[in-house]
């Protein structure tokens, strides 16, 4: 993307749209890797249901957010929908993480 062609950002040396899209890339990558980590841990604790949920969540998130971001633009479009989707995915992963940790506590107590 050439900055000169971006409306309202001709004098911006900071490459704002690119930086923002790279931040999206990092966030999606981190979320998918987090889901993978949850799936591996759940598999180790013999919780195939949780592992499957984490794996499906990662695949679903990737498709959903990539679809949201097809319409991403530095003006005029609200980023709320993809932010909400990734936020909910992180909350879901946190819930799965609490599940595996509590399972660990119960296995210890036994």
Q: Which residues bind other proteins (CB under 8 A)?
A: 7-9, 12, 14, 16-17, 19-20, 23-24, 26-27, 30-31, 33-34, 37-38, 40-41, 44-45, 74-81, 83-84, 86-87, 90-91, 93-95, 97-98, 100-102, 104-105, 108-109
Distance between start and end Cα atoms, the chain: 58
**Rounded to the nearest whole angstrom, what is the least distance from the CB of residue 31 to other proteins in the complex?**
6
Report the C-alpha gap between 31 and 99 in whole angstroms. Answer: 18
Pick from 79, 90, 75, 74: which is nearest to 38 by CA? 90
Residue (63 or 101) nearer to other proteins, CB: 101
* DSSP 8-state code for residue 77: S
Closer to other proteins by Cβ: residue 34 or 53: 34
User: What is the Cα–Cα distance from 27 to 34, expressed in whole angstroms?
Assistant: 10
Are the C-beta atoms of residues 88 and 29 closer than 8 Å to each other?
no
Minimal distance, residue 73 CB to other proteins, in Å: 8
69, 24 in Cβ contact below 8 A? yes
In the complex, minimum distance from the CB of residue 4 to other proteins, in angstroms, rounded to a whole number: 15
Question: Least separation, in Å, of the C-beta of 5 and other proteins?
Answer: 14
């Amino acid at each position: 993307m050439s900055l000169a062609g971006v409306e309202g950002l001709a004098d911006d040396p900071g490459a704002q749209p690119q930086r923002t899209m790279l931040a999206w890339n990092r966030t999606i990558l981190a979320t998918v890797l987090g889901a993978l980590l949850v799936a591996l841990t759940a598999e180790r604790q013999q919780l195939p249901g949780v592992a499957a949920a984490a794996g499906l969540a990662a695949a679903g998130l990737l498709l959903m957010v990539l679809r949201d971001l097809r319409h991403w633009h530095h003006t005029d479009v609200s980023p709320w929908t993809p932010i909400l989707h990734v936020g909910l995915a992180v909350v879901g992963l946190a819930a799965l993480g609490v599940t595996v940790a509590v399972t660990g506590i119960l296995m210890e107590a036994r």
